Chains A and B, each alone.
Chain A
């Protein structure tokens, strides 16, 4: 008898031991992630000190980027990043919400739904350089024809083209998340509305959207995050000029694209440091937009 209790105690202790080990592993992994993000932030700050010292806060609103004379201003690129991301978002939202509603509410089962779902997810899986190629070879000539018709200087390349490419790339994020959430709306809520005589559109408008809005917004935020950081596809179609864009059809540049283009041959300390500061700047912009997003989500959910 005694042996048995000892044996079972041993087994019990072993179980507890595993449990503790498992918890600790989880904590360590979670902490590592925090350390990693803080580490990246610290590296960016340390490496951009030379540039901060020499340029100060002027970096944020100065309009010239001139590596020859060591004058660095991030404003044109900030403008390019914000413009391309938000135009892309504006274009993509109607599409991603429509896809989400269709796949979540109208047609949530069956082969067509599966096919559509997989294709939308595939959009996110295609490497961005392929979007860049497609943009350069197919979209740019179309935009150029369009610009010729409306008497805009027909570059074909520019902020507008980059935004279109981006909008396609970011559709799946908001769409997939929206679909899952719309599927999860409790059926008794919807049935209640139907029984009161609501039409399908009214159910979507007054039951599904209010119920899922914070989640839908989170999906949009995810899309925006992707748009802000996208590099390769944008750099291939945006025109890469440091001049301030005068309209959405003019060429421009984004922060990510400048870093990718100029990093490898940045041959003096201040230049390299200015590029890293641009990276830090992009990092901060992303963090700020995320915080604002979280704030809005919280506000919506509390109501």
Chain B
């Protein structure tokens, strides 16, 4: 019996020591940066960080645990940067208690996908029609407001089934931000958020849940990330933008949507923007860091490494975006991003000049 206890306690001691060494190693290892957050840019970040590692020898350990989780880890100061598809909200800003910087990395888009029998890829939808479909006001594909915009396209007279995300997501945040901007009715009744009280339709978990509902039900309409729609060769709609142009969602039109003067902190959704050639339902994805980098005994060295990484992401790193179906930053967005990085400080002094 004693022997068993002895061996157990030995194992415990050994385990504690290993954990201790590991955490020590983490803190002291200047070759590794830690990040956590959004799942949407994860494929791109993997590519970026492996390229960066090959070039500089600095390893970036990124966990794609979701935007909310990333912000929480940054709040707990367990990572060097968080990543999010939506800007931090008031509640999160209060909790983190120190100024943070949102640096836009790339943008993505949300497309409206549908299931109509026959050959009708790229039907045209106007903002008011989209809002009224998702409000449950337009219930049939034979509605004159849909048909009049799609002359020459065969649209079967099916009832419309709305499919939306059942899980909280950045995709929903972008889409509802769009609906809130184009429809006062939506803004009043539903509003904008990662999860909302849907007035109509069925919920599916994740992009695959929504696309599953849409694929199974003739007459269904839903929204998914552009990347997901491209990879799965789904039908998606052209959308009439603020300037009245009919735009097919694509990498170019998503980048174009961000070619506007962004606010100084870049905390906006790229929805219903003034850009003439821009697709209307797009959003940035950010890496988030503390403005003052001297916290928790971090070295100036480490802060510099972090900023260099982010600087590289928005410059050389941008070439890897398009092949993976992410939209690179527009000229205007890049300018804003550069300005934001330069405001990061160490003991109050700018780190990058």
Residues of A within 8 A of B (CB): 18, 21, 64-69, 71, 136, 140-141, 144, 155-157, 235-236, 239-242, 251, 253, 257, 261-262, 264-269
Q: Do A68 and B192 touch across chains, with their CB atoms under 8 A apart?
A: yes
Residues of B within 8 A of A21 (CB): 1
Most buried by A among B65, B68, B203: B203
Q: Do B203 and A261 touch across chains, with their CB atoms under 8 A apart?
A: yes
Given contacts A68-B196, A241-B203, contact A266 B168 (CB under 8 A): yes
Q: Which residue in chain A gives the minimum CB-CB distance to B90? A: A268
Q: Do A267 and B204 touch across chains, with their CB atoms under 8 A apart?
A: no
**Interface 1/0s, chain B 57-91, versus A by CB < 8 A?**
00000000111110100000000000000100111
Given contacts A68-B190, A141-B216, A262-B167, contact A269 B91 (CB under 8 A): yes
Q: Do B198 and A265 touch across chains, with their CB atoms under 8 A apart?
A: no
CB < 8 Å neighbour of B202 from A71, A241, A261? A241
Q: Do B197 and A268 touch across chains, with their CB atoms under 8 A apart?
A: no
Given contacts A68-B191, A68-B192, A266-B68, contact A235 B205 (CB under 8 A): yes
Minimum Cβ distance to chain A for residue B42 (Å): 14
Most buried by A among B1, B161, B190, B195: B195
Q: Do A235 and B1 touch across chains, with their CB atoms under 8 A apart?
A: no
Given contacts A66-B197, A236-B205, contact A267 B89 (CB under 8 A): yes
Residue B122 is within 8 A (CB to CB) of chain A in the complex: no
The CA of A64 and the CA of B196, in the complex, are separated in Å by 11
Instruction: Given A21-B1, A66-B196, output 4 extra A-B contacts at Cβ < 8 Å.
Output: A64-B197, A241-B198, A253-B166, A266-B195
Residues of A within 8 A of B95 (CB): 269
CB < 8 Å neighbour of A157 from B66, B89, B198, B213? B213
Residues of B within 8 A of A (CB): 1, 65-69, 71, 86, 89-92, 95, 161, 166-170, 176, 190-198, 201-205, 209, 212-213, 216-217
Q: Do B195 and A67 touch across chains, with their CB atoms under 8 A apart?
A: yes
Q: Do B92 and A267 touch across chains, with their CB atoms under 8 A apart?
A: yes
Residues of A within 8 A of B68 (CB): 264-267
Most buried by A among B161, B167, B192, B198: B167
- Sample 14 A-B pairs with CB under 8 A, ordered by A number: A18-B1, A64-B197, A68-B190, A68-B197, A71-B197, A155-B217, A157-B202, A239-B202, A239-B203, A240-B203, A242-B197, A262-B195, A264-B69, A265-B194
The CA of A45 and the CA of B209, in the complex, are separated in Å by 32
Q: Do A268 and B91 touch across chains, with their CB atoms under 8 A apart?
A: yes
CB within 8 Å: A-B pair count: 97
Given contacts A64-B197, A67-B193, A67-B197, contact A264 B202 (CB under 8 A): no
Listed from nearest, the 7 A-B pairs whose CB atoms lie closest are: A240-B203, A265-B168, A240-B166, A66-B197, A268-B91, A68-B191, A68-B193
Q: Which residue in chain A gives the minimum CB-CB distance to B162? A: A241
CB < 8 Å neighbour of B168 from A239, A242, A261? A261
Residues of B within 8 A of A241 (CB): 198, 201-203
Q: Do A235 and B166 touch across chains, with their CB atoms under 8 A apart?
A: yes
The CA of A267 and the CA of B194, in the complex, are separated in Å by 8
Q: Do A268 and B202 touch across chains, with their CB atoms under 8 A apart?
A: no
Q: Do A265 and B169 touch across chains, with their CB atoms under 8 A apart?
A: yes
Residues of A within 8 A of B217 (CB): 144, 155-156
Given contacts A66-B196, A141-B216, contact A267 B91 (CB under 8 A): yes
The CA of A67 and the CA of B216, in the complex, are separated in Å by 29
